[in-house]
A = this chain, B = another copy of it.
């Protein structure tokens, strides 16, 4: 995007030119209040900053603290109709005590005790599960039971019926990602209750959706229309892992298939369109080879990352954390981010980028490239 040189120092300007305070002006402002009117000239600095300047803050939640908190809730809080889920949300410290990881994204740890289930409902919010450890739960989507295991990504697009059932003798935890804050703010939410118990006790290795859709480059002739969200309900770790390994292997053979040296990455996509798995959510998996350091990057829109494996140092804005398996961190809009790893780092990421791309509001910048 062409940007002309700005001829004026912004800081100087921003406080300039407020009209001089007088009794008459005071009276005008009071009459505005009575009329439910607010002048632009007193608000513009906050409303129209030179670049995105989010109230959300970079923040890290450690898995070593999250998981015990969820387990304790498992002891004290039942799951059932009304509360619906034993899910505990990350509350960004900049967002006023609301259960929002960012202004648009919800991120939570969900926890089911052995043989416990979470009742069936549906909502317009787009959702997914990602499993950093454990197994034994089947999430049942429109009657199709989908096994959940370490490394699996399980999308549940808006308005599909779904419940969860732990078929094992051990508790299981995973993370939920949704667009709850966005839909809540924008007033787009519908919600309906289904049965109090999941419709089926089947626990197959592969869901029906996988049997129909998880064949690369093949599409059933009965399903030729593009759908807004992916019909594939499980993206198995086996494939994700292999795709990332192959990118690094191809890079070693001289092919330009990585984002930057040592940095492999895949996006989870809707096989009916090749685009994001849901209209509001982007999900990706990033693998950094040992001794890799990424370029500094920023973009419009916010992200949540979960460390899947390995260790490394993450810098977001001015803060640096050392991270390990299960840790979750938030990158607000237009905040710079950099990753460094000595022993290798696997990261799951989700973001609200499709919202901005579809509305032509997306911008990104990588250090060392022209702006």
Across the A-B interface, the 8 shortest Cβ-Cβ residue pairs: A41-B83, A187-B333, A17-B82, A16-B82, A38-B99, A221-B265, A215-B243, A211-B246
Q: Is the CB of B52 within 8 A of A189?
A: yes
Q: Which residue in chain B gives the minimum CB-CB distance to A192?
A: B6
Q: Which residue in chain B gives the minimum CB-CB distance to A48?
A: B191
Q: Is the CB of B190 within 8 A of A218?
A: no
The smallest C-beta distance from A102 to any residue of chain B, in angstroms, reads 8
Q: Is the CB of B193 within 8 A of A19?
A: no
Q: Is A368 an interface residue (CB 8 A)?
A: no
Give Cα A99–Cα B246 distance, bound, in whole angstroms: 42
The smallest C-beta distance from A284 to any residue of chain B, in angstroms, reads 7
Interface stretch, picked from A70-78, A164-172, A309-317, A339-347, is A70-78
Q: Which residues of B contact A201 (CB under 8 A)?
A: none
The smallest C-beta distance from A127 to any residue of chain B, in angstroms, reads 11
Q: Is the CB of A103 within 8 A of B239?
A: no
Number of copies: 4
**Contact size class for A?**
35 or more
Q: Which residues of B contact A3 (CB under 8 A)?
A: 192
Q: Is A92 an interface residue (CB 8 A)?
A: yes
Most chain B CB within 10 A, of A7, A104, A188, A240, is at A188
> Which residues of chain A from 97 to 143 have any CB-CB distance to chain B below 8 Å in the complex?
97-99, 103-104, 108, 123-125
Give Cα A192–Cα B50 distance, bound, in whole angstroms: 6
Q: Is A184 an interface residue (CB 8 A)?
A: yes
